[in-house]
Structure 1
Amino acid sequence: MQMHYERIGQGKPLLLIHGIGGSCKSWDSIIDQLALQREVIAIDLPGHGKTPALKGEVSIRTLADAVTLFLQENNMTGIDTVGSSMGGRLVLELFRRGSVLGAVVSLDPGGFWKGWEIPFFYNTIAASIRIVRLLQPIMPGISKSAIGRSLLLLQFSKKPSQLSPQLVLNEMQAYAASPSFDELLRNLAYGEQQKGAPHEYRAKPLAIGWGKNDRVCFPKQAARAIKLFPDATLHWFENCGHFPHWDAPQKTIELIYKTTG
């Protein structure tokens, strides 16, 4: 399985998996610091960044199959892994499958919504991506403005005006360019529900991190995630939205080091 990735640093390998519409650039807020102690591999999932889309169904299941094949072909099976948002759900699915990954950190994973939360998630994100696509011609200017960043990312970040303009521009361009975004969004909301891993399923550490101000995956969903993955350690990020590695980069790095050793 061919996937584009960026590789930086030296040490014990660490895999980073972005969320829906993102790319390896989604990790720019922490990747350089992680690379001081680890060899970091940040991938573009199929249909994202520079990796071609899958042929056929695009879902958590098929993305997990693709990542598994990529790791097997590149002799990376058992690698410590961090996932964010959809990538957070993806690493939980890979954790559940057994020996694919090593230690796992899942940041604000999707897939644990119920009832009205499902159409809320789908409709708000679908509306946001339509706006992002329309604004692409002027996105460089919007991303340079603190007010512009706040308006763009109010649902995703507790402090969007403080984010790097380049990081925001990269993310907005990646969202608009992803050929898999629409199908994947629908399957995330209305497709197969996430299965769990029973108690003492695996010996490797699992941490689930959640922003207390997450407006995409509401904090109450964390209890559902822990119920399905009872061996996980739950970590709360104070004053933090949907992306802890954006709003609380140092705290995120600390959680990654603590979990992966």
Structure 2
Amino acid sequence: MHHIRCGAGKPLLLIHGLGGHWQSWHPILADLAATREVIAVDLPGFGQTPKLAGETSIRTLADETAAFLHAHGLDGIDAVGSSMGARLVLELARRGGSVGGVVALNPGGFWQGWERHAFFSSIYLSIRLLRLLRPVLPAVCASPLGRALLLAQFSARPTKLAPDIVTDELCSYVASPAFDELLAQLAYGEEQQGAPRNSIAHPLVIGWGRRDRVCFPRQARRALALFPDAQLHWFDRCGHFPHWDAPAETAQLILSALAGARGLSRARHEDRPERSLGLHLPQSTSR
């Protein structure tokens, strides 16, 4: 499994989302590497890691990730995942043994009914559009209007994103040989299992953007129902990628949560069910 290592300190694993690669984490990589040794992987079928010979699914990716960690003496490592990668780190936490503390950012897999079809059809159409645009993607991504049109579903502030990061990410989607199979598996394959209360001893935090148009915010309640040991952090004015829309806040959440910071507490109940739990951390400034 291709990966990069940077920084120094307690190891921290980063797992990208569907179609992404390790470069997806660029907006927060330096902040994390300032105090942790960061290990960012390319999952099988993405980036520079070859596709698996057999099925590509959350189950097989979890198996491969666990084997990678064991082979490198990293069992029990703290882990952060985004989107599909967030579901993957939740699955590893559920299994136990491979990872320690976990932060899952906007995890997929908690949709119901029409949401499942909306997820599949919107991403299916998006990837086909990107493949048609492949020869001109860098030019389109260089334009604020182009970023707004291509990333409206993923970011609450696409025009503010760095063109090179957007180009790298979208080109990675197009190049992935595992994208289509894994998209179908995520939408219609095996459903995510949960972990009973008090079965996960390490810190477990689920972060969710309030403006997520891929995994709708209402799905956070279902994630908490399946993982009752988790705490929930809401990202205001953020879409599906908080580490893009709010990198300073995301890095601070990760470092505080996985350091066992005492400032993390459940918020009081509010009227809207999807706002019933939250972690509230002070805003930080980018380095």
Matched, 1:41 2:39: yes
Alignment of 1:99-114 (within 5 A): 99-114=97-112
**Which residue of 233, 242, 245 corresponds with 2:243?**
245
Matched, 1:72 2:70: yes
Tell me, what secondary structure is at the counterpart of 2:80? strand
Q: Return the letter of the residue paired with 2:3.
A: Y
Gaps of 5+ in 1: none
Residue 12 (structure 1) shift:
0.7
Tell me, what secondary structure is at the counterpart of 1:158? coil
Counterpart position of 1:136? 134
Counterpart position of 1:214? 212
Identity value in percent: 60
- Structure 2 length normalisation: TM-score? 0.90
Tell me, what secondary structure is at the counterpart of 1:41? strand
Counterpart position of 1:176? 174
CA distance in 2, matches of 1:229, 1:258: 20
Counterpart position of 2:92? 94
CA distance in 2, matches of 1:42, 1:132: 25
Counterpart position of 1:160? 158
Residue 254 (structure 1) shift:
1.1
Counterpart position of 2:265? none
Q: Residues 176-231 of structure 1, C-alpha deviation per residue, up to 9 Å, x if partnerless?
A: 00000000000000000000000000210000000000000000000000000000
CA distance in 2, matches of 1:64, 1:131: 29
Gaps of 5+ in 2: 260-287
Tell me, what secondary structure is at the counterpart of 2:111? coil
Tell me, what secondary structure is at the counterpart of 2:27? coil
Residue 99 (structure 1) shift:
1.3
Residue 50 (structure 1) shift:
0.1
CA distance in 1, matches of 2:133, 2:5: 31
How many aligned residue pairs are there? 259
CA distance in 1, matches of 2:31, 2:200: 29
Q: Return the letter of the residue paired with 1:202.
A: I
Counterpart position of 2:29? 31
**Which residue of 200, 208, 212 corresponds with 2:198?**
200
Matched, 1:191 2:189: yes
CA distance in 2, matches of 1:226, 1:238: 19
Residue 32 (structure 1) shift:
1.2
Q: Residues 12-64 of structure 1, C-alpha deviation per residue, up to 9 Å, x if partnerless?
A: 11000000000000001100111111110110000000000001111000000
Q: Return the letter of the residue paired with 1:190.
A: Y
